[in-house]
Amino acid sequence: MVVLALGIGATSAIFSFMSAVWLKPLPFADANRLVTLWIDQSATGGGARMQVAPGYYADWQLARSFEFMTAIEPSSCNLTSDGDEPERLAGVRATPNLFETIGLQPILGRTFDAEGAGNDGIVVSEGFWLRRFGADPAAIGSTITLDGSPHTIVGVVPRDFRFPAGENEIFIPTAFAPDVLARRSPYSWYIVAKLKHDVVLEQAQAEMHAMAATLEAESPQTGRGATPNVVLLRDVLTGTARPTLLGLLGAVCQDCAKETWRSRERS
């Protein structure tokens, strides 16, 4: 009976965690409308979920299904200060409308200028602010050195945005030059977009497929096999945890069933 009780307790704990991971909305404004866009090249021997080149981002901004769209690239950097060893920081480069797209508000200062004006400052995470500045509001306007270049901190945001890989400490704004937007490689950028209020996922996917077909017809070499996939951001963020949790739940339920059967035999 002790094993059975422990099994029931473990099952309840896993169910509670699954509920928190899959049912609780992301801590962003209108999080149910946030999606990621990928290139599916499985038909031509590539991956089913590939990052994109800036050229695809330029094309996809013309889609009518999305209210906002941002391009994001992982970008670690070295933080240096007088007398200290360099510290490697995990962060991202992103188009200036990143925070407008995901609906994440700063807890101190401001975020990037979505129009791209005066976007020379950087945004740091709450974790970085607490660790390096001890939650001092004077961090806003201070300068830190990243990879040998000075950067001014303009804002602090919560730790909530963990895409594409874990917590980001540094957010650096990036504006694409026209020649960069014409490039179809390398595939290093992640795309996050927000659906318009009256658009559902299936409509956005249909529009993206239609755009891809048009691109392939107009430029067979450029568009060949590059099918866009639209996926809810929440599904991407929780996808890696899903198989593990389901496996744990299945194992616990199996043990509970065996113990129940043994208890019936003993009685």
- The amino acid at residue 45 is G
- Residue 50 C-beta-side C-alpha neighbours within 13 Å: 21
CA atoms within 13 A of residue 256's CA, in its CB half-sphere: 14
The pairing of beta strand 122-125 with beta strand 149-157 = parallel
Q: Which two tokens stand for residue 206?
A: 């249909």
Phi, psi for residue 120 in degrees, rounded to 5: -85, -10
Query: At which residue do the structure tokens 């504006």 appear?
Result: 175
Preceding amide of 106 cis, omega within 30: no
Name which of 152, 160, 116 is nearest 28 in CA terms.
160
pLDDT score for 250 = 52
Q: Cα dist. 12→16, 17, 246, 252 in Å?
A: 6, 9, 13, 10
d(CA 150, CA 199): 42
**How many whole angstroms from its chain centre is CA 69?**
13
Residue 239 in 3-state DSSP?
A: helix
- Return the structure tokens found at 244: 């593990």
Which positions ≥6 away from 204 have C-beta within 8 Å? 35, 63, 65, 66, 195, 230
For residue 135, give every residue at least 6 positions away whose Cβ sits within 8 Å of its Cβ, in sequence order, or none: 129
Q: What pLDDT sits at residue 255?
A: 53
| pLDDT tens for the 267 residues of the chain, in order | 544 443 444 445 433 433 444 445 577 878 899 999 998 877 666 666 788 999 999 999 999 999 999 999 999 999 998 667 899 999 999 999 999 999 999 999 999 877 665 556 999 999 999 999 999 999 999 999 999 999 999 999 998 888 887 889 999 999 899 999 888 877 899 999 999 999 999 999 999 999 998 888 877 666 566 789 999 998 888 764 344 334 444 544 455 445 555 555 555
3-state DSSP: the chain helix, strand, coil percent, rounded to 5? Answer: 40, 25, 35
Evaluated on CA atoms 36, 41, 43, 46, the torsion sign reads negative
- Quote the Cα angle for 158-79-161, to 5°: 20
